[in-house]
Structure formats: structure tokens, C-alpha cells
Structure 1
């Protein structure tokens, strides 16, 4: 019975850590860059777009399609960085737990 109580305590502790992890990921800020720094996107760890910075030289041309592609590429870069950061944060909390390979946390 004591083992069951200990396990329940650990489950509650892990649940609290996972809730904090989700809050930390949501509060994290990442930056994505494309075009050698000509377009920069900032977003939260949950994917909320916060800002876009565009080099003024891109605005003077007639190539809107290139600018659109650079914005999409910068967003993709930021999203990839957010995913990596979330994975790193998750690994710190779940270190030592027997989690099956490929299982992504937080859910």
C-alpha cells in the first residue's frame, strides 16, 4: 500500500511539473530568420506570432512573392526553434522517466 501512495505522490508531482512546463513553453520566445537576416519573425513557444521585422530594402522592390516566401521561411525557422526548445525543456523535466521513444510531451 505504501508503494501505491508513493506512486500517487510521484504522479501528482509529475502532473504539476508538466503543467509548469506547458506554461514555460507558452511563455518562451523564439526568433526565426530568413534571407540572411532580412526577415525576422518572433513567436511564442506555442506558435503565437508576436512580430515581423522586414529589411526596408525588400519593401522597395516589386517582388512581393519573394517577400512572402521569406516571411514563410522565417516563420518555419521560428516554429522549428520553438519545437526544439520545447523538446529540450521536456527532456529536462522527464529525465530518467521510462517514456517510450517517439512519444512527444507535453501532449
Structure 2
């Protein structure tokens, strides 16, 4: 359609790809809010659930770990499970972004703003 326009045609193509990328990024952001990951610590005694955006949505603690003299251990297990869930959320978000950038022909490892 724009073959005879030289660099204007290239610019139109680039603008179209940029718009596609923006739409896919917006959709991915919405999807990341729905995807859940689960982190755990203490061999599964404490489990934290988070969205792929890293927002904590749930915490499951096995009642067997509640001993008054082990309060610090329980706190450490809770923090470890939350950190594990957040790390998994970040990995999932990066994997989802990698799918989009690959589809768009963007080299792997290119940092995208968000």
C-alpha cells in the first residue's frame, strides 16, 4: 500500500508494530494480574500465593508450626514463603514478556519499561 513512499512506508510499518506492541503489553499487564504463583518454605509448611505482578493474595500456614517458643522461626518461614512467591511472580512476568517480544521479533533480553 505504501511501497512507493519509501521511508514513509517504513515509518508507517514501524508505527503499526509499535501500536501492536503497546496493545500486547497492555493485555499482558492485565493477564499478569490473573496469573497466580505459589511460593513455599519449611518443606511446604508455609505457602504464599501471589499474582504474577507480585501482589500477595493468600497465605497458608500449617498449624503444626505454632509453638510459642518458635515465634521467630514461624516469622522467618512466612517471610521466606512470601519472597519465594515474589521471585516466582517475577520469573513468570519475565517469561510472559519474553513470549511477546519473541513474537514481535525483539531480541531476547531486551529490557522493556514497566
Superposed pair shares fold, TM > 0.5: yes
3-state SS in 1 of match to 2:82? helix
Indicate the structure whose relative CO is greater, using CA pairs within 8 Å and at least 6 residues apart: 1
Deviation for aligned residue 1:51: 1.1
Task: Please give the alpha-carbon distance, in whole angstroms, between the structure 2 residues aligned to 1:65 and 1:50.
Answer: 23
Unaligned runs of 5+ in 1: none
Shift of 1:102: 6.0
Aligned residues: 105
What residue is the counterpart of 2:4 in the other structure? Answer: none
Per-residue deviation at 1:53? 0.7
Tell me what 1:36 maps to: 43
Any conservation in 2 of the 1:47–1:82 contact (CA below 8 Å)? Answer: yes
State the superposition RMSD in angstroms. 1.5
Runs (4 or more) in structure 1 with deviation over 4 Å come to: none
Scaled by the length of structure 1, the TM-score of the pair is 0.89
TM-score by length of 2: 0.84
Unaligned runs of 5+ in 2: 1-7
